[in-house]
Amino acid sequence: MKKFYLTLALIICTTIVSQAANMQVNPEAKSFKYSTTVEKERPVLDDITKSLIAAYQKNPTEANEQALRNQIAINYDKVLAKKRAKLAELKQTAKDQSKITEMQDIVNEMIRDRENRINQSLARFTDSRLKPGVRETKDGYLPVLGAAQNVSVAYTEVTNEEYAKFINSTGRKTPSNWTNGIYPSGRAKYPVTNVSYNDAVAYCNWLSKNDSSVTYRLPTEKEWEQAAGHMPKDADFNAGENKGLTAANSYLNTLSASGAVNMWGNVWEWTSTSRTDGTKAVKGGAWDSKRTDCRTENREIGRNPNSGYSNVGFRVVRVK
């Protein structure tokens, strides 16, 4: 019997080594180097889903909405099946347990969040603003499809240059990394950091005061997620790519669901949602985050609203 188990163990080890040897490194893969696919953008909608969206737009009945929802669920479950298959593969081939843990977290998250994410997609696809060009900004803001009809999100995070106008107008205390009231040289277009949640709220109130036709505020966590949508695992963004911040308008080819840029990586972004521990939710990860921590559905991170942080900035939403 002992000889049998030794032989079996040898066969298993030989199989795993053989599988690993046959796997090819994909130089374009950022999260998992042996991945056979490079997911730079959200998956392109298939013809069935497109036709169901068109049918609903033409005739928004409950029956057409349910048919579209059913197809969204089918699409979602196909992606979940692929993630589960990838997890099973990693359990056989990964040399680092952290890779298995990362994928297990993604699978668990997808299972936990299934109904919510299906509902988010349905809300986005049935929004009357879903038209060609909806992800192209004309005035610095973009509709958050699936959120309230009058909510739009800023194309980028608030920059040092923009925040300086607020400082000069109100006399509010400057961020701790500014010198003599001036932001760092060459950083005009970089996201402002070292601003507290309260500072960000004050900035939004200042914008609203100077534009009485609309209201500016921080997004809720739900609105932020709706604006961001799915985070492609191999998309280009500033997490583990650089040794610090990049400009707010960097990585222009990586668009969120709304068409906004830099919603993943670079800086965490304040939201108005409170965590159970009294902190305020921040979203999207930063330049010094693990890529998997940048996931849209990551709801574990909060910051003290009274403090500023070198890797936390903010983005505003506009409500008409």
pLDDT in tens, 204-242: 999 999 998 999 999 999 999 999 998 988 899 999 888
Residue 255 shares a structural domain with residue 120: no
**312 touches 286 (CB < 8 A):** yes
Q: What mean pLDDT is reported for the chain? A: 89
Residue-by-residue DSSP string for 22-71: HPPP-TT-SS-TT-S----SPPPPPHHHHHHHHHHHHS--HHHHHHHHHH
Picking from 103, 126, 149, the residue at the C-terminal end of a domain is: 126
Dist CA 137 CA 152 (whole Å): 10
Pick the more confident residue, 36 or 144: 144
pLDDT of residue 13: 42
Q: Is residue 64 part of a domain?
A: yes
pTM score, whole prediction:
0.85
Q: Which of 126, 154, 181 finishes a domain?
A: 126
More confident residue, 15 or 252: 252
The answer as to whether 266 is a domain residue is yes
Band of residue 4 on the pLDDT scale cut at 50, 70, 90: very low
- Total domains in the chain come to 2
Dihedral angle over CA of 75, 76, 82, 87, nearest 10:
180
Tell me: do 195 and 309 sit in the same domain.
yes
Q: What single-letter DSSP state applies at residue 215?
A: E
Q: Are residues 157 and 301 in the same domain?
A: yes
For residue 24, name the pLDDT band (cuts at 50, 70, 90): low
C-alpha angle 117/294/267, rounded to 5°?
125
166 in the same domain as 75: no
Confirm if 258 and 142 have CB atoms less than 8 A apart: yes
The CATH number for 275's domain is: 3.90.1580.10
- Better-predicted residue by pLDDT, 167 or 320: 167
Question: 22 pLDDT exceeds 80?
Answer: no
Asked whether 39 and 236 are in contact (CB, 8 A), the reply is no
Question: Roughly how many angstroms between the first and final C-alpha of the chain, as a whole number?
Answer: 76
Give percent of the chain with pLDDT exceeding 70: 87
- pLDDT surpassing 80 at residue 25: no
DSSP state of 243: S
Structure tokens at 95: 């040399």
Does the pLDDT of residue 48 top 90, yes or no?
yes
Task: Identify which of 201, 192, 164, 157 has the alpha carbon closest to the alpha carbon of residue 180.
Answer: 164
Closest to 234 (Cα-Cα) out of 93, 24, 43: 43
| Radius of gyration, CA atoms only, the chain | 22
